[in-house]
Amino acid sequence: MKYYEVNNRKIHQVKVSLMYEDYVGALIYEVGGNTMGKSILEAALQAVEYGNFVPIDHELNRAHVNIVNEYGYIEEVVLFNDQDTLTIEIRDIEDIIIGAQIISYREDD
């Protein structure tokens, strides 16, 4: 992202980066409503930590979301290293979150 317009009526995409030892992954979460900047990052981190979001259709989510329950919420994520995969249950995800970044935004419908 090369430009960030501070406006609280946008839909923001947030990339939440995950790492355990040399296994890496990421999830993409969308945040909308009357919010901007740090509050967007906090909302995304909290949603990932508690597993209370339905993953959007994004290549990173397709690669790293392993199990989704009957309500559409994530139950497991998969991390990758050069040779193998590692499955992490959503209840354990808060310890492997290493960052959050707003990667894009668009007008709210």
In a domain, 4, yes or no: no
pLDDT digits (tens, 9 = 90+) for 65-85: 988 888 888 899 999 999 999
pLDDT digits (tens, 9 = 90+) for 11-56: 889 999 999 999 999 999 998 877 778 888 888 888 888 877 788 8
In a domain, 1, yes or no: no
In a domain, 20, yes or no: yes
In a domain, 3, yes or no: no
The pLDDT of residue 10 is 83
In a domain, 87, yes or no: yes
In a domain, 5, yes or no: no
In a domain, 2, yes or no: no
| Counted domains in the chain | 1
Upper half-sphere CA count for residue 106 (Cβ side, 13 Å)? 3
pLDDT digits (tens, 9 = 90+) for 84-107: 999 999 989 999 999 999 999 888
Find the domain containing 98 and state its range. Answer: 10-107
In a domain, 103, yes or no: yes
